[in-house]
């Protein structure tokens, strides 16, 4: 049975996959200071959002749904479902999707993506390793 995108089961698997990614960790400008709360969501779908917390370049919490108030979030990033799928499955590159406007920063500095472009790329690719089969039709 496929794991639903942004479900808690998917978030748990994505956290494990991301934290196991050495290229992601090494891609941070300075992983030891990358401690933030972030939201990732689907454009036009307020019901499809996940919140995560980073501590020193590793994810310590990833929750399906809203966990933090908007003012607690450093970044709030959204894209349509097809873009998230293409990034997770390695058919797209995060930096290009940002430049094309396919990935949108609803809150937070765009410089965060630029400074940590390699980490962001590997982080988003880890989403495709969250489960053996992912159901994006949610």
Query: Any idea where the domains of the chain sit in the sequence?
Result: 3-131
Q: 135 forms bridges with which residues in the sheet?
A: 4
Predicted pLDDT of residue 135: 97
Cα–Cα distance, 21 to 18 (Å, whole number): 5
pTM score of the predicted model = 0.95
CATH 3.30.1050.10 for domain 3-131, yes or no, is: yes
Query: How many other C-beta atoms are found inside a 10 Å radius of the C-beta of residue 102?
Result: 18
**pLDDT of 13-40, one tens digit each?**
999 999 999 999 999 999 999 999 999 9
């Amino acid at each position: 049975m496929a794991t639903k995108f942004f479900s808690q089961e998917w978030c748990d698997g994505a956290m494990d996959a991301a934290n196991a990614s050495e290229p992601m960790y090494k891609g941070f400008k300075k992983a030891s200071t990358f401690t933030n709360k972030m939201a990732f969501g689907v454009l036009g779908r307020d019901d499809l959002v996940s919140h995560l917390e980073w501590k020193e370049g590793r994810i310590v919490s990833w929750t399906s749904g809203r966990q933090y108030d908007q003012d607690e979030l450093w970044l709030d990033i959204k894209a349509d479902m097809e873009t998230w799928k293409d990034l997770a499955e390695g058919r797209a590159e995060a930096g290009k999707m940002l430049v094309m406007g396919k990935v949108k920063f609803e809150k937070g500095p765009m410089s965060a993506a630029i400074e940590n472009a390699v980490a962001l790329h590997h982080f988003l690719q880890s989403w495709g390793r969250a489960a053996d089969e992912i159901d994006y039709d949610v």
